[in-house]
């Protein structure tokens, strides 16, 4: 009996020491983890607010994560069922969908998914690189006196492929408009559209200034909603994403884009066009859920 008693005591001591060792190891690991990712002030905030390290880890893959906004991120995730990235974007960019309220400079300017809308603008002297005259390509475009149409080279190269495919199926496509300078948009907004924000962007806030936006229609319909009833529009809706284009202002998305439905306004966004198309998203929605803004 005495031997069994000693054996039990030894076993309990070993177990207790193991627990102590494990807990000390966890404390050291937590300390090391915090020191590797946060400064002294941030660590103090984590301890003061009793934030669990495991709850922080999923956020650390994002550069714009701010530990001092942690509780706001968590609140947004629970309230709106956001992902970790979406919660960061929502809290860090409260005016993302608040048109013309505290506007910021355009996002992702040097990419095909540059965001220019009623919240994000381009400087008046911004001119995109690699602008090319549409007439240098074998595509149909409207001819206006003393006016040339330009688009970025990568846009025209993809549009040429799309135009060829459509033409092969007997579908008519014509380019009506492409790049617009800040000054040209200023004239259109002030004098042609009477400063009507529902149908025309303010100068600097038009994505036509990026060189990635293109107005497409047919001569019979022009830039009107009648284009929606055409075979050409149907073909574009079924195929344009294959060439990197999206319908920029679709039906029932005014609260996201800031504009009513425009069947003629297409936008080159590159490879992300397929996901935008398949999930019925706007460019704003895609960026909000997939990239840090």
Tokens representing 111 are: 């990419």
Q: How far apart are CA 209 and CA 123, in angstroms?
A: 10
Report yes or no on 97 lying in a domain.
Answer: no
Report yes or no on 99 lying in a domain.
Answer: no
**Residue-level pLDDT at 211:** 98
Residue 98 pLDDT exceeds 50 = yes
C-alpha radius of gyration, the chain, whole number = 28
Tally of domains in the chain: 2
Instruction: Kindly report the number of other CB atoms within 10 A of residue 233's CB atom.
Output: 23
**Do residues 50 and 141 share a domain?**
no
Among candidate residues 220, 245, 242, the one with its CA nearest the CA of residue 230: 220
Q: Which of 92, 125, 149 is the last residue of a domain?
A: 92
**Do residues 148 and 49 share a domain?**
no
DSSP category for residue 191:
I
**Do residues 83 and 108 share a domain?**
no
Residue 7 pLDDT exceeds 60 = yes
Report yes or no on 204 lying in a domain.
Answer: yes
* 3-state SS class at 133: strand
Q: Which carries the bigger pLDDT value, residue 30 or residue 31?
A: 31
Report yes or no on 87 lying in a domain.
Answer: yes
Tens-place pLDDT, residues 222-252: 999 999 999 999 999 999 999 999 999 999 9
Ramachandran angles phi, psi of 157, nearest 5°: -65, -40
**Do residues 128 and 256 share a domain?**
yes
Domain that residue 286 falls in = 104-290
Tens-place pLDDT, residues 191-204: 887 778 877 899 99
Specify whether the CB–CB gap between 181 and 209 falls below 8 A.
yes
**Do residues 80 and 129 share a domain?**
no
**Do residues 110 and 88 share a domain?**
no
**Do residues 22 and 138 share a domain?**
no
**Do residues 72 and 199 share a domain?**
no
**Do residues 243 and 114 share a domain?**
yes
Catalytic one of 262, 274, 284, 285: 262
How large is the average pLDDT for residues 156-184? 97
Q: Which of 33, 62, 92 is the last residue of a domain?
A: 92
**Do residues 198 and 266 share a domain?**
yes
Q: How far apart are CA 228 and CA 203, in angstroms?
A: 27
Tokens representing 147 are: 């006016």
Report yes or no on 26 lying in a domain.
Answer: yes
Model confidence, pTM: 0.88
Specify whether the CB–CB gap between 151 and 134 falls below 8 A.
yes
Report yes or no on 80 lying in a domain.
Answer: yes
**Do residues 134 and 244 share a domain?**
yes
CATH code where residue 146 lies? 3.30.1380.10
* Mean pLDDT over each residue of the chain, to the nearest integer: 91
Report yes or no on 98 lying in a domain.
Answer: no
Report yes or no on 229 lying in a domain.
Answer: yes
Residue 50 contacts by C-beta under 8 Å, 6 or more apart in sequence?
none
Is 262 noted as a catalytic residue in this protein? yes
**Do residues 60 and 130 share a domain?**
no
């Amino acid at each position: 009996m005495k031997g069994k008693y000693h054996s039990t005591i030894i076993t309990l001591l070993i177990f207790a020491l193991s627990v102590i060792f494990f807990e000390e190891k966890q404390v050291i690991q937590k300390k090391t983890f915090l020191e590797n990712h946060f400064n002294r002030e941030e660590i103090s905030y984590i301890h003061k607010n009793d934030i669990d390290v495991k709850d922080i880890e999923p956020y650390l893959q994002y550069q714009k994560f701010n530990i001092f906004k942690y509780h706001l991120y968590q609140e947004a995730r629970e309230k709106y069922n956001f992902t970790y990235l979406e919660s960061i974007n929502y809290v860090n960019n409260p005016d993302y969908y608040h048109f013309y309220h505290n506007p910021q400079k355009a996002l992702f300017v040097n990419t095909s998914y540059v965001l220019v809308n009623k919240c994000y603008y381009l400087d008046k002297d911004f001119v995109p690189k690699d602008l090319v005259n549409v007439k240098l390509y074998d595509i149909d475009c409207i001819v206006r006196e003393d006016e040339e149409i330009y688009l970025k080279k990568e846009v025209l190269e993809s549009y040429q492929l799309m135009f060829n495919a459509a033409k092969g199926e007997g579908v008519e496509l014509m380019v009506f408009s492409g790049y617009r300078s800040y000054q040209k948009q200023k004239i259109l907004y002030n004098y042609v559209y009477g400063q009507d924000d529902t149908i025309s962007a303010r100068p600097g806030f038009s994505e036509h200034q990026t060189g990635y936006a293109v107005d497409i229609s047919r001569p019979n319909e022009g830039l009107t909603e009648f284009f929606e009833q055409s075979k050409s529009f149907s073909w574009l809706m079924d195929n344009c994403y294959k060439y990197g284009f999206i319908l920029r202002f679709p039906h029932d998305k005014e609260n996201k884009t800031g504009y009513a439905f425009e069947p003629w306004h297409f936008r080159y966004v590159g490879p992300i066009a397929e996901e935008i198309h398949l999930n019925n998203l706007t460019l704003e929605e895609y960026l909000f859920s997939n990239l840090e803004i």
